[in-house]
Structure 1
Amino acid sequence: MPDSYDSVPYTSFAYGYTHPDALGVLGRLFGLAPAPPTACRVLELGCATGGNLIPMAELLPDSEFVGIDRSRVQVDRGRALIGELGLTNVRLEHGDILRVDPQTIGSFDYVVCHGVLSWVPRQVQDRLLGLTAAVLRPRGLAFISYNVYPGWHMREVVRDMMLFHLRRFEGPQKQLEQARGLVDFVASSVKQRAAEDDPYALLLAKELDTIKGMSDAYLFHEHLERDNSPLYFHEFIDRLRGVPLRYVCDTDLHLMVARDMPDEVRETLARVADDQVSMEQYLDFVRNRQFRTSVLCRTEAAPVRRIEPGRVESLRFTLPGGPTSTPASLEPGVELGFLSASGARISSPEPLTKAALIELGERWPATLDFDTLLEAAAARVREAGVAPNGDGGDNGEPEPEPDRERLAADLIECLLRKAVLARVWEPPLATELGDKPRVSAFNRIAADREGWVATLHHNRSKLAAPLQRLVPLLDGTRDRAQLIAEVTALVNTKQMSIRTQDGAPIEDGPELEAACAEFLDEQLAKLLDLPVLLS
């Protein structure tokens, strides 16, 4: 029987939370000692074309990456790309999870299984968990994502409608057309007869908007596949009792805690939740969660639930954001707010913490190790004429040492609110524009063929049309003048359009070269900030 992923290939992207660096951060926070991302073995079950593994492998040449997927079409495409890039530390294998031999593939420091568990039969789910346990090294970490209730109860209503309707139609393209048409028909029909605040009408309208934004491949495999089996979080934890694996944490730390909830909600949760699993299950109820990304370790490992301040001292930090007001006061007791690019907000009255967050924001996209950050923050506070800890240092008294533990505790709070990013490894990113800008070979190809890049924090970033043309040119051989000439040629041959602030296209004349130069500078600044440019 042909595989559905052969007939409708699934575009494979980079996912930051699957990177060994991101998983390594979480392991360290919970008292484990995972392998460094620069020297590890990574297995991805359900790797598709390798869009997640290959950019990891390119930047981590001393680590080894193995992907397994049941779709020969996707594996062959990924192998072709690996060959084109000349990478020797990554390989993709065509195979069925039920038939993979743990002895043959060996053991791994990290096992990634993204977008597979909910979309396969129970027999395969059990084998997936068993295989993960069989190949995971003693200090290893596994990442598994899956659909969850209660959020998927609402989505199942629409899925069931589509599956009922599609019984009469054959072929992926026809089924996709009919699925979109059905949801549109039902949503508009209900809207005509229902009250404006009717819950059913609102549900269908929301799902219709979601489906409209889905690619054909995502809609087909997310909603129209034969197997899609969500479960409750506590049921997933029960499944782990049959294998030597245990739950460590969610990749989204802020979803494990109730920091964003009103006081009365937090108080009630504290009363009714008797352990971390029940706390997270109640939070899923409150948030109507639809999808989970869980980190697991071997049963004999011993994750420590309470994150101690000392554990962050081995990490690096960065902040894609900054203070919400200027001038930014470092005076003790004066709250200063910060806004991250993730939308997270946090505030602090502590001079040292405020100075540290300002430093991180100004140094983005670079990361700073804890000691360097502490030193830089203390220097900022001293320059402002404030004691590092908001006390002492006057009337001739010796200036106190900066409070390491206080800063560490505040950085933990920032992590729990998704306000800062933590890393173990600093990728080779550029912090300023060089003479000959360069992006990775993978990104040059991905931009040209698929219109996206993997940022150096391993997140997918979709590119606007002009950047899809520019990024493939950034191989480190062209200086600014040569890039301006290339952009001008693209405009002259109608392969790129540059417009004035009023929206009018600039096609020729003396202003074209100046416009191309301005365009180039703007686009390179965007790539530096993503970050995508290599050092």
Structure 2
Amino acid sequence: MRERAGTALSGACGQICKVGSLEFFSALPATLCGHRRQERMAGNTNAPKTSYDTVEYPGFSYPDTHPDRLAVMAALHGLQPAPVATCRVLEIGCSEGANLIPMAYELPAAEFTGFDLAGLPIARGQQRIGELGLTNIRLFQGDLMEAETAPESGGLGEYDYIIVHGVYAWVPEPVRDRLLALCSAHLARNGVAFVSYNALPGSHMRNMIREAIVWRAEHAAGNAMGPEEQAAAGLDLLGLLIRTRPEEDPYRRLTEEQLTKLRKRSPKVLFHDELSPVYAPVSVAAFVQHARRHGLEYLSESVLPVPNDPSFRPELMEALREIAGDDTVALEQMLDFARMRMYRETLLVHAEQPVQRDLAGDVLREMRFASQATPAAGEREGVCAYNLPGGLKVGCDQAPAIGVMERLMTAWPRTLGYEEMRQTAAEDGLRSEAHVQRLLQQMAIARMIELHVYEPAVADVVSEKPKATAVSRQEARVHPHAANLWHGTVQLDDMRVRGLLQMLDGTRDHGELLAQLCVEFPEMGDEELKLGLEANLTRLLRAALLES
């Protein structure tokens, strides 16, 4: 999976980056790294349990797969995507539906279908759906190679958005081919398919590390280790070996960086990600070539490039364009060599779609804007700095951008429309509409603002009887995290916040909530709980967990 971006309920500074005329200092990463995979999606569904039946793979909501995100990227490239509120979505390799079920809850007029080879995760997902009373989603156990004809599939049908997250690079070649054939056959004329995969050249490094972990697991004494123990033993061996190299050795530094990331992941995730029988990372050029054989074409990635991406270096881009000409994929491949890119989230459309390679500015008039930023201390005099989700920090010194940020930070977790952005920028001296659109594009690239084409039913104030989403309350009962109304993952490390969330069914006022907290947490003083109640309700509001 991709490193998940979440909001923690429990600042870094970086280089100066310039995007167009707007200058930022930024701690945003230059490359993306991912590590999610799925069980092999082909095989006899009556066969013995898959490894995903034996060892559970943690499921989360992935914002980059949401129809809102896919529709934004399609619109920015001149296409007319299906309306998010009433769209049809298919997820191939959906596991227990942790990504799909929150979407179905958020979008009651849309339709969702998901299937997976592993039966037990599907059963867990079906139980969740039943508890929530959702009627716009169905999950079924199915073999990718036979999904269209499986009785449970209902014939599949046509979909506006297809999601294939963490499957492509982890299955044999015939399954990869069938996967793209399925996408092509069932994607609507103006549909968008999301396919994530581990990419080259960056994954060469990961493969070297993976080989050591796999070797250790295969040579476990007496093969007595359990799956999670095998993964841990592989990391221990890797750490032992790398310490034999000099501290200044580049290979040691690279390996230690990867090892640090691996140790932050759970043993269950390590088992599935690092000990799988198939690992086939692919270059973007090879992936798009494969997609084209099935009548699909490259649209873009699921997110805009970050500000310090090589694509924003004019001297480099001039040289690369001389080599690539009008070949967008060749340009992306050369940039991946510069990025040492390890992971991609590629969007595909039907080949006949008229993709516009230069981002369309006029389409911003139809979009909505949001920002999760909070104020931070500036690094230079006259610069306003902002903390962004994930511990990132950006700043700028231009009045129109600062005015836009102040409006959006006040409005969060709601969005504002284009006209409000235009008027705010005009008040600070930016009156040309073309310049306003350029500014908004630059701010989106800098991750200061988000672009949306729809807004969920998210609360903007804490009501007398606050109500959290049923899907988040359901998740909080069994996990220290929950999906919010913007399809992000909110970490619930504070037990009081997690307990409070579960109480917010819309039937209790603040006094009744306090009384229930005193019962649930008797070890804490009544005054302490009283002081914390309003603050924690505000935190849940800001985390987009409360419904309007």
Q: Give the TM-score category using the shorter length.
A: 0.7 to 0.9
Contact 1:359 1:377 in 2 (8 A): no
Residue aligning to 2:212: 161
Q: Hey, what does 1:458 align to over in structure 2?
A: 487
8 A contact 1:44–1:66 mirrored in 2: yes
1:207 partnered with 2:258: yes
Instruction: Name which one, 1 or 2, has greater alpha-carbon Rg.
Output: 1
SS of equivalent to 1:302 = coil
Q: Who is 1:59 aligned against?
A: 106
Provide the C-alpha distance between the structure 2 equivalents of 1:426 and 1:372, rounded to a whole number of angstroms: 16
Contact 2:158 2:186 in 1 (8 A): yes
Kindly indicate whether residue 335 of structure 2 is the aligned counterpart of residue 283 of structure 1: yes
Q: 1:524 aligns with which of 514, 523, 537?
A: 537
Structure 1 residues 185-234: Cα deviation after superposition (integer angstroms, max 9, x where no partner): 3323431x321111232233223222211122311221111111101111
Q: C-alpha deviations, 1:341-392, integer Å up to 9, x for none?
A: 352535353x4444223211222221011013323444xx2xxxx6x33xxx
State the match for 1:362 in structure 2. Answer: 410
Instruction: Give the C-alpha shift of residue 16 in structure 1.
Output: 0.5
Range with greater deviation from structure 2 (427-436 or 102-111): 102-111
> In the TM superposition, what is the alpha-carbon distance from 1:323 to its structure 2 partner?
6.0
Matched residues in 1 for 2:207 and 2:411: separation?
45
SS at match of 1:109: strand
After superposition, where does 1:420-499 map in structure 2 within 5 Å?
A: 420-466=449-495, 467-492=497-522
Contact 1:322 1:358 in 2 (8 A): no
In the alignment, the residues of structure 1 paired with residue 532 and residue 384 of structure 2 have an alpha-carbon distance, to the nearest angstrom, of 35
> Counterparts of 2:339 and 2:490 in 1: how far apart (Å)?
27
Match of 1:295 in 2: 347
Is the contact between residue 306 and residue 447 of structure 2 (CA under 8 Å) also seen in structure 1?
Answer: no
1:256 positional shift = 9.9
SS, match of residue 155 in structure 2: helix
- 1:240-319 equivalences in 2 (<5 Å): 240-255=291-306, 258=309, 264-274=315-325, 275-319=327-371
Deviations 1:45-84 (A, max 9, x none): 0011011111111121110000011011111110011011
Contact residue 41 and residue 109 of structure 1 kept, 8 A = yes
- The residue that corresponds to 2:275 in the other structure is 224
Contact kept, 8 Å, 1:254 with 1:415, in 2: the verdict is no
**In structure 2, distance between residues paired with 1:58 and 1:370:** 27
**Are 2:129 and 1:99 aligned?**
no
Counterparts of 1:46-195 in structure 2 under 5 Å? 46-101=93-148, 104-169=155-220, 174-191=226-243, 193-195=244-246
1:21 aligns with 2:68: yes
RMSD: 2.5
Is residue 8–residue 172 contact of structure 1 (8 Å, CA) maintained in 2? Answer: no
In the alignment, which residue of structure 2 is the partner of 1:345? 394
Query: How many Å separate the matches in 1 of 2:307 and 2:355?
Result: 15
Indicate conservation of the 8 Å contact 2:310/2:335, yes or no: no
Q: Work out the number of aligned pairs and report it.
A: 492
Q: Please point out which of 433, 442, 452 is paired with 1:404.
A: 433
Residue 348 to residue 265, structure 1, CA distance change in 2 (3 Å): farther
Q: Distance in 2 between matches of 1:151 and 1:373?
A: 39
Aligned counterpart, 1:44: 91
Query: Normalising by the residue count of structure 2, what TM-score does the alignment of the two structures yield?
Result: 0.84
Q: Distance in 2 between matches of 1:61 and 1:171?
A: 49
Which digits, 9 at most, give the CA deviation of each residue in 1:413-453, with x for residues without a partner? 22223221011111111111111111111110101101211
Indicate the residue corresponding to 2:446 in structure 1: 417
Q: How much has 1:258 moved relative to structure 2?
A: 3.8
**Match for 1:364: what amino acid?**
W
Q: How does 1:369-388 map to 2 (within 5 A)?
A: 369-378=417-426, 381=427, 388=429
Name the SS for the 1:230 alignment partner. Answer: coil
Tell me how far apart the structure 1 counterparts of residues 397 and 359 of structure 2 sit (CA, whole Å). Answer: 20
Matched letter for residue 488 of structure 1: C
Shift, 1:101, TM fit: 1.3
Residues 458 and 290 of structure 1, relative CA distance in 2, 3 Å threshold: same
Q: Which has the higher contact order (CA 8 A, sep 6+)?
A: 2
Q: Decide which moves more: 85-94 or 211-220.
A: 211-220
Alignment check: 8 A CA contact 2:482 2:490 kept: yes
Change (3 A) 1:432 1:259: farther
What is the Cα deviation at residue 104 of structure 1? 0.8
**Alpha-carbon distance, 1:263 to partner:** 5.7
CA distance in 2, matches of 1:85, 1:418: 34
How far apart are the structure 2 equivalents of 1:142 and 1:284? 21
